[in-house]
Amino acid sequence: MSKSNSSSFIWLPVVIVIGLFCFAPQVVSAYRLELLTIFLINVILAQSYRLMTTTGDWTLCHYILMGVGAYATGILAKKFGVPFYAAMPLAAVITVGVSLILALPLSRTIGFAFFIASFALGEFIRHVWLKFHTPFGGARGVNGIPKLEIGQQGDWYFIDFWDSTNFYFFTLIFTVLALLVLYRIDRSRVGNAWKSIYADSELCESIGINVTRYRVLIFCVAGFFAGIAGSLLAYQVGSIDPHNFEMVEMVYLIIWVVVGGVKTYWGPLIGVFSMSLVFELARPLQEWRPLLFGLILILFLVFMPGGLETLLPRIKSFFLGLVGKKEVR
């Protein structure tokens, strides 16, 4: 896959998509706009999860890390009155700290045990939220998180975040920034080291890559972005409780990533977009929706293990009549 000549070609659609997102508030209703804001937050989450999977470590606690960011923001903003420009970085740093603690036992496991252990440790954090009423509010969570504030009423730089359009653009800026940074990380030397760990961790050890340290690092970097996403979520919804971060949500995140694919940078974006669309279209189905998503997950894993990102190459090779090798994950 030579990407060098197509990389300039790919930026045109990116600019168009960003333009469309800037234009969106003009055409959609306020309710739809809030859904779009949540969608943008989910994009950060899915893309950071994709980063996590580049070493082959599929965690089951990414959603919990998002929750850590959301709780940190909520508590800082509500109990201590910390303004957003301090609360958001602090929340991200706290999430990184929690990630670091989690990574210590997790980095001793690989593959499947990593998967399960991350899930169990995530549940541990969720139970901490449930158990301790101060400061986490127990089962009722943190309510009445103050809205984001930039300036006071009357200041020339005042932005009213009760207007959902303003918060939408605030989120859009963060999403675009996060995606750019994640793109650079993915292409960087460190990113290549992570990919080589997935390819052959023993070989990496032999050429001087400290596999454990790199795996801890990726966990923290992915945790940082999950924390940012959680912080935005806390400001958007205004109240969070432990039920927001249950296993079901994590399965949906996995569905996005599986449907899109993780081999390329664009896979999760396609996945989160198409599945959010299906999710909204399936709203009339109500209780049958999990069944639909279960079926989608199974069908993709069995019949298209590479995700939607492999669809185009597949169609191409089909039409070229090549026998070509299938792309395997």
Partner 1 sequence: MGFETFVQTFANALVLGSIYAMVAVGLALAFGVMQMANFSHGELFMAGAYVVYVLYSLVGLPFLVAVVAAFPIVALIGMLFERVLFRPTRGNVLSGFMATAGAGFIMQVLVGQQWGVGLMRSVVVPYKGSAEILGAAISWQRLVIIPATIIMVGGLWFFLKKVKAGKGLRACAQDPEAAVLQGISLNKMTSLAMLLSGGFAGVSGALMAPIIPVTPYMGHVYGVTAFIVVIVGGMASIEGAVLAAFILGFIHTFISTVYDSVTATMVGVLFMAIVLVVKPTGLLGNVKV
Positions touching partner 1 (CB under 8 A) are 58, 104-105, 108-113, 115-117, 119-121, 123-124, 127-128, 130-131, 247, 251, 254-255, 258, 287-288, 290-291, 293-298, 301-302, 305, 329
Calpha distance 272→274 (Å, rounded): 6
Closest to partner 1 by CB, 13 vs 138, is: 138
Closest to partner 1 by CB, 88 vs 259, is: 259
Closest to partner 1 by CB, 231 vs 276, is: 276
Minimal distance in Å, beta carbon 73 to partner 1? 24
Q: Are 174 and 228 in contact (CB under 8 A)?
A: yes
Angle at 98 between CA 234 and CA 37, to 5 degrees: 25
SS (H, E, C) 258-284: HHHCCCCCCHHHHHHHHHHHHHHHCHH
Minimal distance in Å, beta carbon 249 to partner 1? 12
Closest to partner 1 by CB, 80 vs 288, is: 288
Burial 145-158 (b: 16+ CB within 10 A, else e): bbebeeeeeeeeee
Minimal distance in Å, beta carbon 280 to partner 1? 18
Task: Tell me whether the omega of the peptide bond preceding residue 135 falls within 30 degrees of 0, making it cis.
Answer: yes
Closest to partner 1 by CB, 181 vs 297, is: 297
Closest to partner 1 by CB, 193 vs 255, is: 255
Minimal distance in Å, beta carbon 208 to partner 1? 23
Calpha distance 182→178 (Å, rounded): 6
φ, ψ for residue 159 (rounded to 5)? -125, 125
Closest to partner 1 by CB, 176 vs 278, is: 278
Minimal distance in Å, beta carbon 116 to partner 1? 5
Minimal distance in Å, beta carbon 253 to partner 1? 11
Minimal distance in Å, beta carbon 173 to partner 1? 33
To the nearest 10°, report the CA torsion of 143, 169, 221, 14.
Answer: 150
Calpha distance 101→220 (Å, rounded): 10
